[in-house]
Structure 1
Amino acid sequence: MTRMHWRPQGTVYGTLLNFRREWDLWAPRMTRDPHKAAPNAPILYVKSANTFSPAGQDLLLQDGVTEVDIGATLGLVIGADAQVAGAVLLCDWSVPHASYYRPPVKFRCRDGFLALPQQVTVGKVVDWAGLQINVRRNGEQVQTVDLRDLMRDLPTLLADVGEFMTLQAGDVLMVGTDCLSGGSRPRAKAGDRVEIFATGFTTVTTNVKGQA
């Protein structure tokens, strides 16, 4: 009997500039054109359904892409009455790019660019306030994402998003991905094996493949 892996049943939203390190790096530029001020609400984007990559599926680099940013994150899974029903680890892959105000769809919504876990971890938002998400590439630790470093912690993010939209049952709200000290993210290329893991969660493992 084939085991069914978890798949989002609604819309998946990502959050930008929600970690303090990246916010601080961008702060000097926030008053420049075109926005001329720091954002006062969460900056969201959508991961379309073509990006959903079931647990254990390889990531195939296509169309001249030779490397990708590793985006380890926590996704809050929305249940009935817009309440959080559980959470998942995800890898929000993206093609390296400079702008985080209006990230082009072609960099974030390529086929297979959201690595999914096998199952949802049931729990409450308070359970994950201090979660640390670890990233290994080819067995080497390359990043630790600490949710204590969020600009908007989990309850605040949910409340602020709720000010302008209603999350539906089956939706997933990703809390954001952190950068390294220099502002970039860890990257992967063809031949790499990436593992994202945290206490209490199913590990997300992806082999990155090049186009033949």
Structure 2
Amino acid sequence: MASSFRTTGRKIVAIGRNFADHAKELNNAVPTEPFFFLKPTSSYIGDGDTVEVPKGVDCHYEVELGVVIGKDGRDIRAADAEDHIGGYALAIDMTARNMQDKAKRKGLPWSAAKGFDTFNPVSSFIEKSKVADAQNVRLWLKVNDQTRQDGNTEDMIFPIPQLIEHVSSIMTLQAGDLLLTGTPKGVGSVQAGQTMHAGLESGSKILAELKLNVKDREGLFEFNKFKQA
């Protein structure tokens, strides 16, 4: 079921650079067609949990609207996309920015930079009926109660139906999968000891919130441990 996407979903499909101002703030070209990457479902955490910052990593937040797929589909036309949406969620695509930058320079995948445990905080499931217009909801994120991101899904370059058509033309979207639809401008670093508070709003109605702590990650990983790489 879509409502249990955190445990039943098979993949997280994340759209990159779907807000022009965000693409520009990272000195990236504004895309002329959608592109995406995958994140593991092992990166999920929920409200009240803790994001872990790996050693040596510049950890960035990216608040996003998540679309929960309600039924399987391949080659879904944009006109039929609504039938495959099961609901929504508020999400944060955490990113090891310096790792991503290094990967981009070398033409390598972003899997490590995007895939750490705790790097996909997500709210509980939002019923589809509670979202009057998914292309007009407000996304915001605060660090230590200071607003860092404040945008609206109406500013997406590629709307949700077009994203679903594009992704499903490449791979089957399965019930419980999460489609992250892009982040507005304002991304930046978060460090151990800070807090994050994110929200999703429709008009005056709060659809979801996430409150998260941040701490250093323990373990074997250290960025640039292999200096010759």
TM-score range, shorter chain: 0.7 to 0.9
Q: Summarize the alignment of residues 11-30 of structure 1 with structure 2, pairs less than 5 Å apart.
A: 11-23=11-23, 25-27=27-29
- Of residues 47, 55, 61, the one that matches 1:70 is 61
Structure 2: how far apart are the matches of 1:155 and 1:6?
20
* Contact 2:69 2:87 (C-alpha < 8 Å) held by counterparts: yes
Deviations 1:121-143, CA, capped at 9 Å, x for gaps: 11167621111101111111111
Q: Which amino acid aligns with 2:11?
A: T
Q: Summarize the alignment of residues 121-200 of structure 1 with structure 2, pairs less than 5 Å apart.
A: 121-123=126-128, 127-180=133-186, 185-199=187-201, 200=206
Question: Which residue number corresponds to residue 7 of structure 1?
Answer: 6
Structure 2: how far apart are the matches of 1:44 and 1:122?
25
Deviations 1:100-150, CA, capped at 9 Å, x for gaps: 985522211111111121x21111676211111011111111111221111
Structure 1: how far apart are the matches of 2:19 and 2:55?
31
Identical counterparts, % of pairs: 23
| Pair 1:74–1:103, CA change in 2 (3 A) | farther
Question: Which residue number corresponds to residue 106 of structure 1?
Answer: 112
- 1:152: Cα distance to partner? 0.0
- 1:165: Cα distance to partner? 2.4
- 1:68: Cα distance to partner? 1.1
SS in 2 for 1:76: strand
| Pair 1:102–1:179, CA change in 2 (3 A) | farther
1:43 lines up with 2:35 in the alignment: yes
Q: Answer 1 or 2: which has greater helix percent.
A: 2
TM-align CA RMSD: 2.6
* Contact 1:78 1:172 (C-alpha < 8 Å) held by counterparts: yes
Structure 1: how far apart are the matches of 2:23 and 2:118?
28
Question: Which residue number corresponds to residue 79 of structure 1?
Answer: 70
1:90 lines up with 2:91 in the alignment: yes
TM-score by length of 2: 0.75
Structure 2: how far apart are the matches of 1:39 and 1:144?
21
Question: Which residue number corresponds to residue 35 of structure 1?
Answer: none
SS in 1 for 2:28: helix
* Contact 2:14 2:39 (C-alpha < 8 Å) held by counterparts: yes
Structure 2: how far apart are the matches of 1:103 and 1:91?
20
TM-score by length of 1: 0.80
* Contact 1:69 1:188 (C-alpha < 8 Å) held by counterparts: yes
Question: Which residue number corresponds to residue 224 of structure 2?
Answer: none
Deviations 1:22-62, CA, capped at 9 Å, x for gaps: 445423xxxxxxxxxx8654211111122111332111223
Q: Which amino acid aligns with 2:48?
A: G
Unaligned residue ranges in structure 1 (runs of 5+) = 28-37
SS in 1 for 2:161: helix
Deviations 1:63-102, CA, capped at 9 Å, x for gaps: 333x411110011000125400100001110111333985
